[in-house]
Structures are given as C-alpha cells and as structure tokens.
Amino acid sequence: MGRQVRLEVQFGLQRRAEIGNRHTAPRTVTRALSWIRESGVRSLMDWDETQWLAFCRVARKGYKSLSYAFIRDTRFELQRLLIADDPWADQFPRDSWDLRLLDLANEDCCRLHFGGIPQPWLRALTKRWARWRLTRGSSPAGLTLSVQSVTRLACHFAEIDGVDAGPAALDRARIETWLAALQTDVPSAHTRSRTINCVGVFLRDVHRYEWQPELARSAFIYDDAPKPRALKPRFIPEHLMRQLEAPAAVAQFPSDDGRVLLKILMACGLRTKDARWLPFDCVVRNAENNPYLAWLNRKIHDRPAFFPLSEELAAEIGRQQQAVLERFPQGCRWLVPASLKNVDGSKPVSDRRMRDHLAIWLERLSLTDEHGSPVKVTFHQFRHTLATRMINADVPQPVIQTLLDHMSLAMTAVYAKLHDKTLRRHWENALKVNHEGQKAELAADHPLAGAAWAKMSLVRAKVTLPNGYCGAPVQTDCEYANPCLDCRFFITTGDFLQQHRQQRQETSELIAQAEQAGLARVAEKNRRTLGKLDTIISALEETAENQIVVGGHVEDVDAAS
C-alpha cells in the first residue's frame, strides 16, 4: 500500500480508539487491509461508499461486514476532517446531505435527499429552506417528511408543465390539480393532511422571506388539508392489562434492563424514546422523601418533567443502577445503556432492541382477546392506558396533563377515554330534579336505569314528556290524569327550562283570571302548581341549558354522551 492510504488507515484506528464505542478486532483490520491492497486505490477517498460496498461484497452481518464498516467509518472521519472548516460549503451543493457531517444527525434521521425534485430552481429553493429550518432547530426527521412532501408536489408539477417550467407556473391552479391527484394517490387522510400541511409551511416561508420573487403570489395552501378524523381509543382493555401486569408475565420479558423499562412504561406512561433516554440518576425525592421519576420530554425540547413513583419501583430502578455501575465502573449517562457497540456506555438502549424484545415477550405470553384471537400491543399504548385509567378514577384532566406533560388539555383528551361504566356512574350522580324540585333517583327497573349515555337518545324518545321525562316503569299504570308536576316519577332537566317558565307564566295568568272571576278553589289549586314550578325552575337555573352536573363539574350532555 502507498504511504497515503497507510496514513489514512492509521488515522482510522486512532479515531476508533478516541471514540471508544466499539471493539476493533485485529482480524477485522487485517481483512480490511487486504481489500484495500487488492483495490489498488491510492486513497480511501478515491471510491465512494457504493463502490466500496460492491467491491467488498459483504453481507449484512458477519466479520466481513465489520471490516467493511472499518473502511466506511475511516472514510467518514477523513471526510469530516477535510471539510471541518466549512461543512455547509461541502454539503449544500449535494443532492444528498449527510447530517452527521453537520453535527445535526440523530438516531431517527442522518440524511436528507433532494435528488427527487426535478426542477433545479425548486431543488435549490428547497435546500435553502431546509438549511434555514435546520439552523432554527427543526427536527431532521420532521424535515425529511417536509422534503418528501415538496418532492411530491415537484413531481406533479413536472408531469403537467415539464421540468423546464419556471416559478411563475407554480400557481394556485397547479396546486389545486396536485391536491386532486393527491386524493387519488394517497388514500390515507392522515398522510394526505400531513403532506399538504408540510407544503403549506414551505410555501408560506418562501413568500414571507421572498426567496423566490418570481413564484406566483397565488401559490398558497389555505385550509386544503382534510379535516382530522376522531382518533380511535388506543388504550389496552383491562382484561388484557391484567394479563400483561401479572408478575409471572412480566418475569418473561427477555432482558433484565428491558423489564425495568417495561415497568416504568406501565407505571409512568412515558413515551418509548423518553424511557430509553432516561438519565442514570432519574430518581429524585421531595422534602417528604417521596420518590419521583425525573425525565426529559424529548418531544417538547427536552423539557424536565416528573412522575410519582412507588417505593417498589424506585427500588427496582436502584437495582438497575447498580447493575449499570458493575458494567461501567467509570460511570454511565443512561439508566439502560445499549448492550452492543457501546464500550464506553455512551449510547442508550436502541429502539429496535426494545421492539424486538416486546415482540418476543408477546409471543411468549400468547396474548389473546376475549374471542381468543392473538393481540399485539405497543409500548405507546401503555401511555394511553395510564391516562384512561386516571380519567376513570376521577383524576382531573389538568392533573393528568401535568403528569403526562402534555402541551394542552386537548391532547390529554385524546389519550384519556371514559369507560361506559364511568359514564353510567356520572349519569347516576348527575342533577335530576323530581316534581318537588329535589334530586331524583330512577327506579331500578326503569328503562333509563340501565342505559349508557350513548343510548340515551333512543330511550328518551320512548319516555319523553313535554316538560321532562317519566321515571315510572313502562308497565306501570299512571295514577295521575296528566299533571306530571304532582307525580313522584316526574324527572326534568335544564333542556325543558323554557317550557317550565312558559307554564309558570300561563299559570300566573290563570290565577289572575280565577281571582277576578271569584273562583277561589281554582286559584288555590293553580297557586300550588305555581309553587312547584318555582321550586323546579330554581333548581334547574343552577345549571345551564343542555348541561348536567357531573362530579361537581358542569359538562355538556352531548359531550357526556
């Protein structure tokens, strides 16, 4: 080998030692040297990664792949060294950016590809926008979706107007044809909405900063994205959670450190990434010595958050910390470090390893639903399940929002779903007024007694009265001629407040007419009715129309249903 390539190999070995996150066996380097010698190159940079991969003819796994990885990593370190003065000057002109060279890569994304955009001017504009977004701290993974969305628009634009079409041709009319084509090409409303919104942000920024003055001013995305559909509940049913939480089931998780993370995910509802990146010292205690899990919300710019822990789980985390110290006596940043390619403990456990272990665990448990069909769950469903359990335990939504560290109550509402039995309990505790203006209880055999809120509209249609509902069993003969205000089964809500007020006004007029005509008994009878109406109206005025009181809080009847 020539002097140049020998120096490069030596530099690669030096960098491996300095980084210190993996072992480099002598036979790995020996095979790599043989390939380099056989290739006849004067420098490792003479060939790109594709040429080296084709020449080495390596499989995905095995010692040959380790030797190829040494050549690949050495080339990368050489490239980083060569462009150290201005990495953007090297990467920006390329159609594929290596974000590792820009120190912007993460485990979710390490490259951005612009080669799919046919128009040179639009490709350059997208690169400028992407660079600006990256410097503002945008997520590389999110930006990848945006570039892919712009690429979809660019391909449609080229198909209709040709590759040579200029910025002026990209107007509102062309965007509308793209939206129509997207409706056919992308069946998923969620994906379509995300694509449209990404292009909308791109066009908005281009217009705002006047990066392309020739771009048609009508090239805007307005409210063109499909309206989001209501998300289906993602919590795990309780009969499945009982199977998963059983100590015998938890003990079957494939790894000890993964078992600790599993318990944390079940008890604290963290996102998988936040759990994998838990710091080593993640247990803190307050002035009363109560344990809390201290974690960083990676979704919201590493915002600190805390979740109460049981003493049992805190002790479990302590045992995991001791195991980490035995493996890394010099210390480690993570509660659960990666098991492979992690000599110095600098990397947390990978998402792939956790997902693989979850699949093995579920296979061991043979988890089935009530029909005996196999069931698959994800780690993130534990977060939904925890929120649902708390909301059904009458934990206020603001408390759940704080514990799960959500940005808004609307997001908490997506996670927390009321069970039917909870709705039933709140209905029983709701404000129901009888003919005395007091809280009324339904008879056990009344049709409403067993009805969930979701079915109330059908039941009400059968027992509805002009000014409320009849609480008497269906088979019961009515002992009253019609004046339901005197009936012990009469139930009314704020929905009928206007009818009661109107009846009060009519009753007052009848009293005045009876007194004027000298009909004392008629006047007295209507005064009793007027008194009952006053009592009912006063009780109903404590709640707004179309609302009920649930657990001390006023909620919409429609929302409760």
* Amino acid in position 255: S
From CA 448, how far away is CA 312, in angstroms rounded?
44
In b/e form, how buried is each residue of 307-325, taking b as 16+ CB within 10 angstroms? bebeeebbebbeebbeebe
From CA 416, how far away is CA 422, in angstroms rounded?
12
Helix, strand, coil share (%) of the chain residues, nearest 5 = 55, 10, 35
113 bridge partner residues? 96
Q: Tokens 């060279």 label which residue? A: 101
Q: Report CA torsion sign: 226, 229, 235, 239.
A: negative
Closest C-alpha among 46, 69, 72 to residue 59: 69
Q: How far is CA 396 from CA 41, 421, 559, in A?
A: 68, 17, 16
The pLDDT score that the predictor gives to residue 104 is: 92
From CA 474, how far away is CA 317, in angstroms rounded?
59
Q: Report CA torsion sign: 378, 380, 383, 384.
A: negative
Which residues, in sequence order, are CB contacts of 21 under 8 Å at separation 6+? 341, 342, 343, 344, 346, 347
Give the CATH architecture of domain 238-415.
Answer: Orthogonal Bundle (1.10)
Query: For the CA atoms of 536, 537, 542, 544, what is the dihedral angle to 10 degrees?
Result: 120
pLDDT digits (tens, 9 = 90+) for 53-79: 899 988 766 667 889 999 999 999 999
The pLDDT score that the predictor gives to residue 543 is: 62
The pLDDT score that the predictor gives to residue 427 is: 57
479 token code pair = 């002992």
**Coil, strand, or helix at residue 440?**
coil
pLDDT tens over the chain, length 561 residues: 889 999 999 999 999 888 877 788 899 999 999 999 999 999 999 999 889 989 998 876 666 788 999 999 999 999 999 999 999 999 999 999 999 999 998 878 899 999 999 999 999 999 999 999 999 988 899 999 999 999 999 999 999 999 999 999 999 999 999 999 999 999 888 899 999 999 999 999 999 999 999 999 899 888 888 887 766 778 898 889 999 999 999 999 999 999 999 999 999 999 999 999 999 999 999 999 999 999 999 888 888 999 999 999 999 999 999 999 999 999 999 999 998 888 888 899 999 999 999 999 999 998 887 777 888 999 999 999 999 999 888 888 888 889 998 888 877 877 766 666 666 666 555 545 554 555 555 445 444 444 433 333 333 333 455 666 555 544 445 544 445 666 655 667 776 778 878 888 888 988 898 888 888 888 888 888 888 888 777 777 776 555 543 333 334 544 433
The pLDDT score that the predictor gives to residue 80 is: 93
The pLDDT score that the predictor gives to residue 476 is: 46
400 token code pair = 């759940």
**Coil, strand, or helix at residue 232?**
coil
- CA 440 to chain CA centroid, Å, is 41
In the chain, domain spans: 3-82, 89-209, 238-415, 423-560
109 token code pair = 């994304």
Start-to-end CA distance of the chain, whole Å, equals: 78
pLDDT digits (tens, 9 = 90+) for 242-273: 999 999 999 999 999 999 999 999 999 999 99
HSE at residue 150, side-chain half, CA atoms within 13 A, is: 28
Which residues, in sequence order, are CB contacts of 382 under 8 Å at separation 6+? 236, 265, 266, 269
Could you give the residue ranges of the DSSP H alpha helices within 246-375? 247-250, 256-268, 272-276, 311-327, 351-365
Which helix (H) or strand (E) element contains residue 56?
helix 49-56
The pLDDT score that the predictor gives to residue 97 is: 95
